[in-house]
Amino acid sequence: MYKILMTYDNTQGLDALISNKEFEVEVHNKPSQEELRELIKDYDGILIRSEVKITSEIIEAAQKLKFIGRAGTGVDNVDKDAASSKGIIVANVPGGNTISAAEHTIGLMLSLARHIPESYKSLKSKKWDRKNFVGTELFGKTLGLIGLGRIGTEVAKRLKVFDMKIIAYDPFAGQDIAKESGVELKSLDDIFAQSDYISIHSPLNDSTRGMINAAAIKKMKDGVRIVNCARGPVINEQDLSEAVKSGKVAGAAIDVFAKEPPQDWTLVETDRVLVTPHLAASTDEAQVRIAKEIGEVLIDFFIKGIKRNVVR
Ligand code: NAD
Ligand code: MLT
């Protein structure tokens, strides 16, 4: 019997795992790091979302752990080196929430362009204000994507239909992928100089942390709009807030933050910065798709010894 620790309480889509007699699944919803350090000792496998961090201390405390299952895409909350040095497999579900994240990105862009959240709030307070909410079209504008992977390409495909010109910076993307999605690959400086909208779809790594800072913003067009549905630390929040306040950046739409929930609320409180609490992947479809797949990956690993979706 394998003991599995679930660190979130939505068991939708996990029926095959929960009903399997080989597994005992226990739910401890969002344990603190201290709680997790104690809990982890008893388990063979753990399922996490983005809130729980598997640090080297947690890995060190683990005594039987063989499998870390990330029910989602980003694995920046797992110390992968520490895990692999102890022979622990880290698996994720890449692609399960791609469409949801792409659709959320586009929703945020349209909301920015047409002032939908502000005008909604205004009318709900019984003000009939049309003058202050004149928007702009996406038609004919240039969208610069930073990261042309799964989500970046789906955003591109959809926004092509809006007749946007789409350019992208991705040091690892091939011309074939770019061509297929109707995107022109450019340098990062070209993205900054030419884009009316910049949307981030890269992972968080050493090359992207703090990539959108005051120096980068200085290279952008006046009135640029910035969307981030990737990872919070890619943006320097203070620098973005200053740039929106000064009018250099016309608006920003942010789904992900340096700390979640934010500890510094400056960016959230800045006017013309739309915010959602890390919701890009939060759809019924994506959650069930991801839960089913990570459940199957876990069962295959423990029962059949098959390693799928392993993150390296
Ligand atoms: P992906 O791995 O398919 O694509 C990422 C792309 O970024 C790759 O093509 C890679 O070559 C590129 N890249 C790597 N380093 C780069 C750099 N320095 N500059 C520019 N591009 C770089 O990942 P994905 O599934 O498309 O996810 C993209 C991001 O969105 C990830 O950070 C992921 O964690 C995040 N995400 C967030 C949500 C959410 O709920 N907000 C949901 C899903 C994914
Ligand atoms: C992901 O990386 O899959 C998304 O950010 C959603 C999540 O964290 O669960």
Q: Is 228 in the pocket of ligand 2 (CB under 6 A)?
A: no
Domain containing 14 — which CATH number? 3.40.50.720
Q: Is 50 in the pocket of ligand 2 (CB under 6 A)?
A: yes
Q: For residues 189 and 228, state if they share a domain.
A: yes
Q: For residues 183 and 46, state if they share a domain.
A: no
Q: For residues 146 and 92, state if they share a domain.
A: no
Q: Is 281 in the pocket of ligand 2 (CB under 6 A)?
A: yes
Phi, then psi, of 43 in degrees rounded to 5? -110, 150
* Residue 307 burial (CB count, 10 A): 12
Q: How much distance in Å is there from the Cα of 202 to the middle of ligand 1?
A: 3
- Is 252 inside any structural domain? yes
Q: For residues 135 and 51, state if they share a domain.
A: no
* Residue 149 burial (CB count, 10 A): 20
> How far, in Å, CA of 109 to CA of 132, rounded?
18
Q: For residues 134 and 200, state if they share a domain.
A: yes
Q: What is the pLDDT of residue 93?
A: 97
| HSE-CB for 57 with a 13 A CA cutoff | 9
DSSP letter at 227 equals E
Nearest to 310 by CA among 131, 132, 70, 140: 70
Per the annotation, the verdict on 278 as an active-site residue is yes
Q: What is the pLDDT of residue 312?
A: 82
- Is 128 inside any structural domain? yes
Task: Confirm if 179 and 127 have CB atoms less than 8 A apart.
Answer: no
Task: Give the chain's domain count.
Answer: 2
In degrees, to the nearest 5, what angle opens at C-alpha 100 toward C-alphas 4 and 240? 100
* Residue 190 burial (CB count, 10 A): 15
Q: pLDDT tens string for the chain (312 positions)?
A: 999 999 999 999 999 999 999 999 999 999 999 999 999 999 999 999 999 999 999 999 999 999 999 999 999 999 999 999 999 999 999 999 999 999 999 999 999 999 999 999 999 999 999 999 999 999 999 999 999 999 999 999 999 999 999 999 999 999 999 999 999 999 999 999 999 999 999 999 999 999 999 999 999 999 999 999 999 999 999 999 999 999 999 999 999 999 999 999 999 999 999 999 999 999 999 999 999 999 999 999 999 999 999 998
> How far, in Å, CA of 153 to CA of 180, rounded?
9
What SS3 string covers 146-191? ECCCHHHHHHHHHHHCCCCEEEEECCCCCHHHHHHCCCEECCHHHH
Q: For residues 43 and 187, state if they share a domain.
A: no
Position 275, amino acid: V
Nearest to 187 by CA among 209, 207, 202, 167: 167
Task: Confirm if 89 and 311 have CB atoms less than 8 A apart.
Answer: no
- Is 312 inside any structural domain? no
Q: What is the pLDDT of residue 254?
A: 99
Per the annotation, the verdict on 137 as an active-site residue is no
Task: Confirm if 257 and 232 have CB atoms less than 8 A apart.
Answer: yes
Which residue's CA is minimally distant from atom 32 of ligand 1?
203
Residue 96 tokens read as: 């399960």
- Is 311 inside any structural domain? no
> How far, in Å, CA of 213 to CA of 299, rounded?
43
pTM of the model: 0.96
> How far, in Å, CA of 79 to CA of 10, rounded?
24
Q: For residues 117 and 255, state if they share a domain.
A: yes
- Is 171 inside any structural domain? yes
Q: Is 58 in the pocket of ligand 2 (CB under 6 A)?
A: no
Ligand index nearest the alpha carbon of residue 8: 2
- Is 20 inside any structural domain? yes
Q: For residues 181 and 127, state if they share a domain.
A: yes
Q: For residues 181 and 89, state if they share a domain.
A: no
Task: Confirm if 33 and 61 have CB atoms less than 8 A apart.
Answer: no
Q: How much distance in Å is there from the Cα of 222 to the middle of ligand 2?
A: 31
For residue 298, what are the domain limits? 2-96+283-304
Q: Spell out the residues 6+ positions from residue 8 whose beta carbon is closer than 8 angstroms to its own.
A: 27, 29, 30, 47, 48, 49, 51, 52, 71
Per the annotation, the verdict on 184 as an active-site residue is no
Q: For residues 152 and 260, state if they share a domain.
A: yes
Q: For residues 50 and 114, state if they share a domain.
A: no
Ligand index nearest the alpha carbon of residue 232: 1
Helix, strand, coil in percent for the chain, rounding step 5: 40, 20, 45
- Is 241 inside any structural domain? yes
- Is 228 inside any structural domain? yes
> How far, in Å, CA of 240 to CA of 243, rounded?
5
Task: Confirm if 50 and 231 have CB atoms less than 8 A apart.
Answer: no
49 Cα nearest atom in ligand 2: 9
Q: For residues 268 and 122, state if they share a domain.
A: yes
CA 180 to chain CA centroid, nearest Å:
23
Ligand index nearest the alpha carbon of residue 256: 1
